[in-house]
Chain A
């Protein structure tokens, strides 16, 4: 349409007045066209800004929810490790040490710190509610590590309950009525007192990184999930990389052009686009039902992720091998190397940076993959560290999913915290890939 308003296409009118009219029309149309041009440009900028803003909001929202997960409120208690409670027989019997009532010791220590009468049962119950339900495990760990401390009074940092933690982090409004706050006025007063005396503070949350599953938010951690994910990444690395590189070398260097090779290529391209959940179904049907591997084992997860990562690695490796110039191959063949020697000694080493970059990107994708792992029973409550790839474990993204769908308030910040850990790992991996590419990329 714009082209039709160009003067040449108009019937030649009478000079002077008509010429002025024409130039007016042209100016008008040009203004209109330039306005359209500007609008178009603005749409483009807006689209890009939309994407970037979303990225910023996403990161900010997760950071804002999650950064508090890296600290956890703890009480510093002078615990009197009463011999009559821990070890009445005096034999330091393991069984007795394991089953002693450490919770009572912690409650007494907190009560004396807050100036509460230990005989007042109601008050004692309220005091006890300030401590984590797993407080006995922490004291027990100290005692088992060094039984000679029994009978002494030691300062020990123990975790506060999830409610106290929420209050300290400002996630719980202290002006709410006591019933909805689930902390009595007396308890809030105690918390303020302990905080003023320096007995209650937020400390770095090592438990987040080393603990396994727990139904109490304050002691739940991603330790098991990290190890499970590590096992899976090892499996992928050990299987997908050799298989992928070998397949790519065959397809790029040896394969004759025939139906079979075409079939393989079409397959690889399609596998790269198959929904990940389908791979999970494959894993469930083949590895678990047919081959009889255990559910929830990280080896099954690793195998499924291997099949998923394989196309990525093959495609990246083929691109890297294809970029090695034929002159290198011809030189090697010219001095008498066999074809296999040429490829093993020259082509693959030269393509290595590209292969590594593709591998790292494939691994990063596998690390964040969740859906197929849900199919093979990785949604599990695992407390103990997995020792082999066959033992039950979870994976980092699955742990995030489990926490995200659990109801308790305390898990929200853990979820976001674990997500931050996942994102940090992914960013590191991608940075390594970028650095590798920058450093070793060669232009032939």
Chain B
């Protein structure tokens, strides 16, 4: 609401500024420094930006401040409860607060009676229920009075914010309006603001990385308070034992090794498919294929990269897994429908275009003179590829394979649907294993209590995954870049 009002105010300021600049320009006693639009923008920025900044800061701070005020007013015995129970109570307070504006006058009267203890809390629950507010249990008087306080604080905070924001907007407008004159360098100010905006947008990438690292580190440290890092990194048993909210205490075993093994095993199988196929198709595309074949086959292969991984996962789940199982049954192998082989093969196919397009670039970057030298000595095309081009391109290709490996390790949907959930430490490719990503998903879906180690372990796993893939990526990019420099 406030944002919309501010936007309209800014539009009006823009219009006023343009017309004022036009008038100033026509008077003719002085030459305008900038075009009229810049004066309009100047006014609009002064109207909008300070007020906007305050509004955003206020809205961010409002929730936590009100919550702390309300919870400090709760009765003594409630405040003595654990954090989890307090947050349940605050949830009920919020529900009642949301319900209050929906009630009619007589219903409000009922709720008020409950607040002062004239009728039973069940009446309030019934009244609220009729208006679509579902409460787990009847609201005690202290909950209702907290809800009243909260509603009161919220409306006062809104009112105050609106006053301040529009006051600032008006103030900004009049200050800027006072400064508008033919000599004002409006364009320079506006462009300065625009440049700041551009710079701030470019820092979002850094903020994201910082956000990822800090959020994971923070939650992972919480986890390591409950479970020792030694047990996490070197444990060989994964058995987290889900605990329901509030039961606490029952810590399971969080051994990373089975998950890490599953992740690596599946990635190795995937690379065994993707590297030969991707490399051979890249060689064929860049060295043999006619232009005609290239223009058709290359985009078709790249479709494989555009298919969402959930579709690969679905294919593995409903077609490929059962197919492998039936085939195994025919020749006497016992292949389960979700297995290392299923997930690895499908993931390998997903990685083909990744390997092939990167290798294609790298092979094309090998200077033509090397090829011609080799042909001149009488080598056939395949001999040139094997003895000259591949050795020359090797560092780059290793980089591409490492990038593909990092993608395989971080891939989620295929393994969630095709690799199984049992944390096995096995060498048998026909058995299900599980991976780091699968466990992150399974620990975090469904109803969860945020502070238990069962949930927090997902962040420790995520941090491991992030560090793993990040170092692979950086190393691979370093190799690729170093190799490129050689031939440039």
A complexed with B: yes
**A328 on the B face (CB < 8 A):** no
Interface string of A398-415 (1 = CB under 8 A from B): 001100110000001001
- Contacts of A249-264 to chain B: CB distance below 8 A: 249-251, 254-255, 263-264
**B216 on the A face (CB < 8 A):** yes
Question: In the complex, what residues of B have CB within 8 A of residue A289's CB?
Answer: 450
**A275 on the B face (CB < 8 A):** yes
Report which of A40, A45, A370 forms a contact with B310, defined as CB distance below 8 A. A370
Question: In the complex, what residues of B have CB within 8 A of residue A291's CB?
Answer: 60
Number of interface residues of A (CB under 8 A): 88
> Are A246 and B201 touching (Cβ within 8 A)?
yes
Query: Provided the pairs A370-B308, A371-B412, A401-B310 are in contact, do residues A44 and B209 lie with their beta carbons within 8 angstroms?
Result: no
**B375 on the A face (CB < 8 A):** no
**A52 on the B face (CB < 8 A):** yes
| Count of A-B contacts judged by CB separation below 8 Å | 251
> Are A247 and B204 touching (Cβ within 8 A)?
yes
> Are A275 and B205 touching (Cβ within 8 A)?
no
- Which chain B residue shows the least CB distance to A3? B377
**B271 on the A face (CB < 8 A):** no
Q: Give the docked Cα–Cα distance between A246 and B307 (Å).
A: 29
**A314 on the B face (CB < 8 A):** yes
Taking the closest CB of chain A, its distance from the CB of B220, in whole angstroms, is: 10
**A46 on the B face (CB < 8 A):** yes
**B2 on the A face (CB < 8 A):** no
Question: In the complex, what residues of A have CB within 8 A of residue B377's CB?
Answer: 3
> Are B382 and A36 touching (Cβ within 8 A)?
yes
Q: Give the docked Cα–Cα distance between A48 and B289 (Å).
A: 11
Question: In the complex, what residues of A have CB within 8 A of residue B385's CB?
Answer: 40
> Are A270 and B382 touching (Cβ within 8 A)?
no
> Are B381 and A61 touching (Cβ within 8 A)?
no
Interface string of A63-102 (1 = CB under 8 A from B): 0010000000000000000000000000000000000000
Question: In the complex, what residues of B have CB within 8 A of residue A242's CB?
Answer: 201
Question: In the complex, what residues of B have CB within 8 A of residue A184's CB?
Answer: none
> Are A247 and B297 touching (Cβ within 8 A)?
no
Query: Provided the pairs A54-B304, A371-B412 are in contact, do residues A286 and B309 lie with their beta carbons within 8 angstroms?
Result: no
Number of interface residues of B (CB under 8 A): 90
Question: In the complex, what residues of A have CB within 8 A of residue B383's CB?
Answer: 2, 33, 36-37
- Contacts of B183-209 to chain A: CB distance below 8 A: 187, 191, 194-195, 197-199, 201-206, 208-209
- Which chain A residue shows the least CB distance to B374? A3
> Are B197 and A379 touching (Cβ within 8 A)?
no
Question: In the complex, what residues of A have CB within 8 A of residue B379's CB?
Answer: 2-3
Question: In the complex, what residues of A have CB within 8 A of residue B206's CB?
Answer: 263-264, 267
Interface centre among A47, A250, A338, A375 (most CB of B within 10 A): A47
Question: In the complex, what residues of A have CB within 8 A of residue B216's CB?
Answer: 278, 281-282, 285
> Are B314 and A416 touching (Cβ within 8 A)?
yes
Report which of B63, B279, B409, B417 forms a contact with A292, defined as CB distance below 8 A. B63
> Are A267 and B209 touching (Cβ within 8 A)?
yes
A-B contact pairs, 15 of them (CB 8 A): A44-B284, A48-B301, A51-B301, A55-B304, A65-B319, A250-B202, A264-B205, A273-B473, A276-B412, A281-B440, A307-B204, A340-B194, A369-B308, A400-B314, A401-B313
Query: 5 tightest A-B contacts by CB?
Result: A275-B410, A368-B308, A44-B284, A285-B215, A47-B280
Binding site for B on A (CB under 8 A): 2-3, 6, 33-34, 36-37, 39-41, 43-48, 50-52, 54-55, 58, 61-62, 65, 242-244, 246-247, 249-251, 254-255, 263-264, 267-271, 273-279, 281-282, 284-286, 289-292, 307, 310-311, 314, 338, 340, 364-365, 367-371, 374-375, 377, 379, 397, 400-401, 404-405, 412, 415-416, 419, 422-423, 426, 430
